[in-house]
Structure 1
């Protein structure tokens, strides 16, 4: 006799798996918020807060991070997307969809009676095998031609040709050596300004203005000093100042500081960038000498200036160094000037490493914000492609990997194989959603693509979202960076396993503090 859902045994199983069902429902809800944005026909999402502020975006991580979420499993999934963004800079929607699909398929196997632990083991085996097979299909940029870099930017940049062109030009100016550096992010060189003309600026742009209108707007052959500190004299606490000795020490600090400022001028310093504030004395002495001062510059911008000009950041205590020693900390730039209309500082011709800044313009705040997100995604994808190569996009690689995992499933003994099967099914999800968003029947079209891949022994075939026909993604110029794909699947597998391991959800008591 078949087991009905109303039987004691079924009821007992439902109660035992209640945490898993609750978490799966929450994850599915999160995935549904971004699934409509994937692919060339994906649509935008409007985010509205209680004040009526509106963000219209197609960017998965922006949608997820701005959503109001309370469920812990949903937050885990959002953290996966954030990690994908932090590590790679793109592919957040793919990571979210794969995680939701893996969890859904895993739960389906549990409902068939497969123990959760066996499903988890199978998912881990299947994900690892899929990663290995997908990695084996990576193509180098040289193999496809350098124009492939522009195509990567086009796909990640949602077919904004101007943004793809600017990002590609910037990457070529900077060079592969810099793009492969672990501490450099091309996306950090992207700036967006309302009313600006979109361009690649060969130098550094800092979103700051000079400290005072009396300071020069333009400095040629600039000798650059970076103060990774506040530019003012050493201070004493109020208690020390209350003593005669303390007051004398305070006066000594002030005199030494002024002498140090004069030494900076005699050393030829003509531009100063500081991490924190600048005292009136420093503003007076340096300003009268025609030195350009920019204060409260963000750390990442200070690093950018240092790298481009060759300057070595110095603390305020180091200002007492002799002139010859001080010269070792100075950088050089052919020109530093303030663009008053754009309200930023531009540094050109630094003696350090070459640098390019991608300036993105638009007519309104809302539009410029979205164009900034698009440009950053494109820049991150281009850098990932340089580092790890490219693979066919459009869900083609995942569909190919799905069949590879199916083959692996045949070699796995016991119930662990059901978890491997869950991975194979989940890998079809990206193409399924892309086709659905394009307005076609995903069951029909994904099967057509799969059969074509088998017949042609290819990993590049997917569905054209305009015509609904099977096409070669490589021939169409639809590329994805290999690291984006690999990290998305790896992250999805990790969060799926983490959620499936949760047996019980218990609300923690609030920690209370008692005043004595």
Structure 2
């Protein structure tokens, strides 16, 4: 309950259940919650990062070291912590990878800001310094970045392999990076300004269990996980005319519920004959278009299946909407919603093959203008294939980004140490207390090589000293090889990251940190802490660690 005194009498302005935390207490609470989120994913960073097992309330198990997946699966129930989760989600949406790095840097920015706050540096000075530092860092990223030729297969594959290293897809990263490069090559188009555009909408990933990851492959076309609706239908059609249908091949039902009493067998037969005639008419409409193959998004009646099989038409029912949209791209066909208006112009042409081992339909287009490729991703179990899919999805995004954006950076902490070195030089020219914030920003960036070293079992201090010495000597591509523990030119070693991903990470981390720092008052209609155990009603004191991070402890 909060009170204000007016003419000697207390004025009650908040309810009995409300809580309020102000000034330093609020800042400490927010920073503690945000840092707890960042610390939870630090151990997953880099090629030697560890995995997390996440168990949902339903008992579903996820094993991963993908930062955004870990944070989304956690039962986080703290408003400040959720702000940091948003950093990971934004990084995933905008850059495809680098979520753990962005979150870890955000946590370190807040840790260093806490030190400045204890030295009586005002939050607005820290925020201004962080803004200046982030803007300067993005400029320096562009200066350091190395241009990418979209036809440079080795470089594009290196970007993909760097992303996959340390994830479930690492053991087969050479095979998978080759598949990724071929896929991107198939769906890339040249823009009018000379840049390259990668149409990710024209790429699909289909997963299968029971086989090795090394058996994964690229199909120029679509893979549809469905069965033919009738055993007598053909399993393979070359030079097929393919109809994509979003109308049920079933007897049309009346709009209102009706009941019909039949007291004569001939009447019943008339009803059945009428239904059969309706189905026969629909099948004739399909055949009249010239279609050899039908992918139907809705149902196909048993009688209609029989008629289609007699006509030699291969039909598939209950095809997913996403698969229908993808087939539309692959075949250059239209999705027909009304058979009465269907014509040969709506059809796509291609070959349809049923793979009995995979239990998939392979659909390949005959048209040069059609666009669409499918990565058939295989793994021994559901857990394996899910983690490989997460890894290859991130690798696809960053490789496509490198081709589109046309800039890459050395990995292994090289870019962070170089940026820190340049920011410290830049800080000398910054006036006022903002200079301290710029230096704190530089220190925060060096968390990345320190954590890479820690996760590899190396001495983080020695590693950072060696890296700083290399960069001060002018080697801006010097990074950490976590496998040998040596400092080397990571660009030449093939450890490469897209520049846009790094820029987005710096932007997201600094803005999230500034958002947290700007809060000096927390007003809650109920208990701020959702840890209702022994700390019931503990107020600000009960919020010290994660506050209300619910089932986070059990998830780790």
TM-score by length of 1: 0.84
Q: 2:256 aligns with which of 206, 216, 238?
A: 238
The residue that corresponds to 1:128 in the other structure is 135
| In 2, Cα distance between equivalents of 1:375 and 1:424 | 32
Alignment of 1:96-245 (within 5 A): 96-142=103-149, 145-158=152-165, 160=170, 162-175=172-185, 178=188, 180-181=196-197, 183-184=199-200, 188-189=204-205, 191-195=207-211, 197-228=215-246, 230-232=248-250, 236-238=254-256
Partner secondary structure for residue 195 of structure 1: coil
The residue that corresponds to 1:495 in the other structure is 512
Bigger mean CA deviation after superposition, 217-226 or 252-261: 252-261
Query: What's the CA shift for 1:460?
Result: 0.8
Contact 1:138 1:391 in 2 (8 A): yes
Query: What's the CA shift for 1:362?
Result: 2.2
The residue that corresponds to 1:379 in the other structure is 396
Unaligned segments of structure 2, at least 5 residues? 1-20, 190-195, 261-272, 528-556
Partner secondary structure for residue 474 of structure 1: coil
Q: 1:71 aligns with which of 78, 81, 88?
A: 78
Change (3 A) 1:157 1:200: same
Q: 2:340 aligns with which of 320, 326, 331?
A: 320
The residue that corresponds to 1:18 in the other structure is 25
| In 1, Cα distance between equivalents of 2:151 and 2:466 | 26
Q: Is residue 465 of structure 1 aligned with residue 482 of structure 2?
A: yes
| In 2, Cα distance between equivalents of 1:502 and 1:186 | 43
The residue that corresponds to 1:433 in the other structure is 451
Contact 1:462 1:473 in 2 (8 A): yes
TM-score by length of 2: 0.79
Deviations 1:227-262 (A, max 9, x none): 3455557665217999xxxxxxxx999977753541
Change (3 A) 1:211 1:132: farther
Change (3 A) 1:208 1:505: farther
Change (3 A) 1:108 1:185: farther
Deviations 1:39-83 (A, max 9, x none): 122122222345654332222222222222111222222222122
Change (3 A) 1:267 1:138: same
Change (3 A) 1:408 1:227: farther
Partner secondary structure for residue 306 of structure 1: helix
Q: 1:421 aligns with which of 435, 439, 445?
A: 439
Deviations 1:161-185 (A, max 9, x none): 5344233334335427627546525
Contact 2:414 2:476 in 1 (8 A): yes
Deviations 1:102-149 (A, max 9, x none): 222223222221211221122122112211211222222339942112
Change (3 A) 1:209 1:19: farther
CA RMSD of aligned residues (A): 3.0
Unaligned segments of structure 1, at least 5 residues? 1-13, 243-250, 511-516
| In 2, Cα distance between equivalents of 1:286 and 1:176 | 35
Alignment coverage as a number of residue pairs: 482
Deviations 1:24-52 (A, max 9, x none): 21222222221111112212222234565
Q: 1:395 aligns with which of 408, 413, 418?
A: 413
Q: Which is richer in helix? A: 1
Partner secondary structure for residue 175 of structure 1: helix
Contact 2:149 2:403 in 1 (8 A): no
Bigger mean CA deviation after superposition, 220-229 or 232-241: 232-241
| In 2, Cα distance between equivalents of 1:302 and 1:101 | 46
Alignment of 1:248-327 (within 5 A): 259-280=281-302, 282-315=304-337, 317=338, 319-321=339-341, 326-327=343-344
Q: Which is richer in strand? A: 2
